[in-house]
Chain A
Amino acid sequence: MSDSLVINNLHASIGDRPILKDFSLTVPKGEVHAIMGPNGTGKSTLSKVLAGHPDYSVQSGEAFLDGEQIIGLEPDVIARAGLFLAFQYPSEIPGVTIANFIRAAIVARQAKGAPFDAKAYYAELYAKMDALKMDRKFTGRFVNEGFSGGEKKRCEILQLMMLKPKYAVLDETDSGLDIDALRIVSEGVNAMRGPDTGFLVITHYQRLLEYIVPDRVHIMWDGRIVHSGGKEVALELEAKGYDWVKTELASA
Chain B
Amino acid sequence: MAEIDESQAQREAIEVDRSKGDFKYEENYAFDAGVGLSAATVDYIAKVKGEEEWIREFRQKSLKIFQDMPMPTHWATTDLENIKFEDIRYYLSKGQKPVRTWEEVPDDVKKTFERLGIPESERKFLAGVEAQFDSEAVYSRMKEELEKLGVIFCGPTEGLRDHPEIFRKWFGKVIPIGDNKFSALNSAVFSGGSFIYIPKGVKVAQPLQAYFRINAENFGQFERTLIIADEGSEVTYMEGCTAPKFETATLHSAVVELVALKGAKIQYITVQNWSANVFNLVTKRGVAEEDAEVRWIDCNIGSRLTMKYPGVVLRGKRARGEVLSIALANDGQHQDTGAKMIHAADDTTSNIIAKSISVGEGRSTYRGLVHIPKTLSNCRNNTECDALLINEHSRTDTYPAISVRGRKNSVQHEASVSKVSAEQIFYMMQRGLSEGEAMSLAVNGFVNDLVKEFPMEYSVELKRLIELQMEGSVG
User: Among the listed A76, A80, A137, A163, which residue makes an inter-chain contact with B1, where contact means beta carbons less than 8 Å apart?
Assistant: A137
Stretch at the interface among A4-12, A84-92, A228-236: A84-92
User: Among the listed A54, A101, A116, which residue makes an inter-chain contact with B431, where contact means beta carbons less than 8 Å apart?
Assistant: A101
Once the chains are docked, how many angstroms separate the CA of A191 from the CA of B428? 25
In the complex, which residue of chain B has the Cβ closest to the Cβ of A125?
Answer: B5
Contact partners of A207 in chain B: CB under 8 A: none
Contact partners of B431 in chain A: CB under 8 A: 79, 101-102, 104-105, 108, 159, 163
Binding site for B on A (CB under 8 A): 51, 53-55, 74-76, 78-80, 84-85, 87, 90-96, 99-102, 104-105, 108-109, 116, 118-119, 122, 136-137, 139-140, 142, 159, 163
With A91-B421, A96-B441, A139-B1 as known contacts, state yes or no: A118 contacts B433, CB within 8 Å.
no
Q: Are B445 and A163 in contact (CB under 8 A)?
A: no
- Please list 18 pairs of residues, one from A and one from B, whose beta carbons are closer than 8 Å in the complex, sorted by A's number: A54-B422, A76-B438, A80-B432, A85-B430, A87-B430, A91-B426, A93-B441, A95-B446, A95-B449, A96-B445, A99-B5, A100-B8, A105-B431, A108-B432, A108-B434, A119-B9, A137-B1, A163-B431
Once the chains are docked, how many angstroms separate the CA of A218 from the CA of B9? 46
A-B contact count (CB 8 A): 95
Contact partners of A96 in chain B: CB under 8 A: 441-442, 444-445, 448
Once the chains are docked, how many angstroms separate the CA of A90 from the CA of B424? 9
Least Cβ distance of A106 to chain B in Å?
8
Contact partners of B6 in chain A: CB under 8 A: 118
Q: Answer whether residue B437 sits at the interface, using C-beta atoms and an 8 A cutoff.
A: yes
Q: Are B445 and A79 in contact (CB under 8 A)?
A: no
Q: Are A95 and B447 in contact (CB under 8 A)?
A: yes
Contact partners of B4 in chain A: CB under 8 A: 140
Question: Which B residues from 403 to 432 make CB contacts under 8 A with A?
Answer: 418, 421-424, 426-432
User: Among the listed A76, A91, A94, A137, which residue makes an inter-chain contact with B423, where contact means beta carbons less than 8 Å apart?
Assistant: A91
Least Cβ distance of A144 to chain B in Å?
9
Q: Is the interface of A mostly helix, strand, loop or mixed?
A: helix
Q: Answer whether residue B43 sits at the interface, using C-beta atoms and an 8 A cutoff.
A: no
Contact partners of B446 in chain A: CB under 8 A: 94-95
Q: Is the interface of B mostly helix, strand, loop or mixed?
A: helix
Once the chains are docked, how many angstroms separate the CA of A85 from the CA of B441? 20
User: Among the listed B5, B430, B449, which residue makes an inter-chain contact with A51, where contact means beta carbons less than 8 Å apart?
Assistant: B430
Q: Are A76 and B445 in contact (CB under 8 A)?
A: no
Q: Answer whether residue B86 sits at the interface, using C-beta atoms and an 8 A cutoff.
A: no
In the complex, which residue of chain B has the Cβ closest to the Cβ of A117?
Answer: B9
Once the chains are docked, how many angstroms separate the CA of A229 from the CA of B69? 84
Least Cβ distance of A228 to chain B in Å?
27
With A87-B427, A95-B447, A137-B1 as known contacts, state yes or no: A104 contacts B442, CB within 8 Å.
no
Interface size on B, residues (CB 8 A): 33
Contact partners of A105 in chain B: CB under 8 A: 431-433
User: Among the listed A74, A91, A95, A163, which residue makes an inter-chain contact with B427, where contact means beta carbons less than 8 Å apart?
Assistant: A91
Residue in A85, A92, A94 with the greatest tally of chain B CB atoms within 10 Å = A94
Once the chains are docked, how many angstroms separate the CA of A95 from the CA of B442? 8
Q: Answer whether residue B435 sits at the interface, using C-beta atoms and an 8 A cutoff.
A: yes
With A76-B432, A76-B434, A142-B445 as known contacts, state yes or no: A118 contacts B5, CB within 8 Å.
yes
Binding site for A on B (CB under 8 A): 1-2, 4-6, 8-9, 12, 418, 421-424, 426-435, 437-438, 441-442, 444-449
Contact partners of B445 in chain A: CB under 8 A: 93-96, 142
Q: Are B433 and A104 in contact (CB under 8 A)?
A: yes
Once the chains are docked, how many angstroms separate the CA of A163 from the CA of B430? 11
In the complex, which residue of chain A has the Cβ closest to the Cβ of B434?
Answer: A76
Least Cβ distance of A190 to chain B in Å?
22
With A99-B5, A137-B1 as known contacts, state yes or no: A109 contacts B432, CB within 8 Å.
yes
In the complex, which residue of chain B has the Cβ closest to the Cβ of A108?
Answer: B432
With A54-B422, A91-B423, A104-B437 as known contacts, state yes or no: A75 contacts B429, CB within 8 Å.
yes
Once the chains are docked, how many angstroms separate the CA of A87 from the CA of B8? 28
Once the chains are docked, how many angstroms separate the CA of A54 from the CA of B438? 15
Other CB < 8 Å A-B pairs besides A55-B422, A76-B432, A79-B430, 5 of them? A75-B426, A87-B430, A95-B444, A95-B445, A108-B431
Once the chains are docked, how many angstroms separate the CA of A118 from the CA of B424? 26
Contact partners of A99 in chain B: CB under 8 A: 1, 5
Per CB-CB distance, the 4 closest pairs between chain A and chain B, nearest first, are A95-B445, A95-B448, A96-B445, A91-B427
Q: Are B5 and A122 in contact (CB under 8 A)?
A: yes
Q: Are A118 and B8 in contact (CB under 8 A)?
A: yes
In the complex, which residue of chain A has the Cβ closest to the Cβ of B420?
Answer: A93
Contact partners of B441 in chain A: CB under 8 A: 93, 96, 100-101, 104
Once the chains are docked, how many angstroms separate the CA of A140 from the CA of B5? 10
Q: Are A118 and B9 in contact (CB under 8 A)?
A: yes
In the complex, which residue of chain B has the Cβ closest to the Cβ of A51?
Answer: B430
Least Cβ distance of B426 to chain A in Å?
6
Least Cβ distance of B352 to chain A in Å?
19
Q: Are A54 and B426 in contact (CB under 8 A)?
A: yes
Least Cβ distance of A151 to chain B in Å?
16
Least Cβ distance of B6 to chain A in Å?
7
Least Cβ distance of B400 to chain A in Å?
23
User: Among the listed A91, A104, A119, A122, which residue makes an inter-chain contact with B424, where contact means beta carbons less than 8 Å apart?
Assistant: A91
Once the chains are docked, how many angstroms separate the CA of A173 from the CA of B2? 31
Contact partners of A100 in chain B: CB under 8 A: 8, 441
User: Among the listed B422, B433, B442, which residue makes an inter-chain contact with A108, where contact means beta carbons less than 8 Å apart?
Assistant: B433
Least Cβ distance of A40 to chain B in Å?
20
In the complex, which residue of chain B has the Cβ closest to the Cβ of A96?
Answer: B445
Once the chains are docked, how many angstroms separate the CA of A248 from the CA of B445? 52
Contact partners of B447 in chain A: CB under 8 A: 95
Least Cβ distance of A134 to chain B in Å?
13
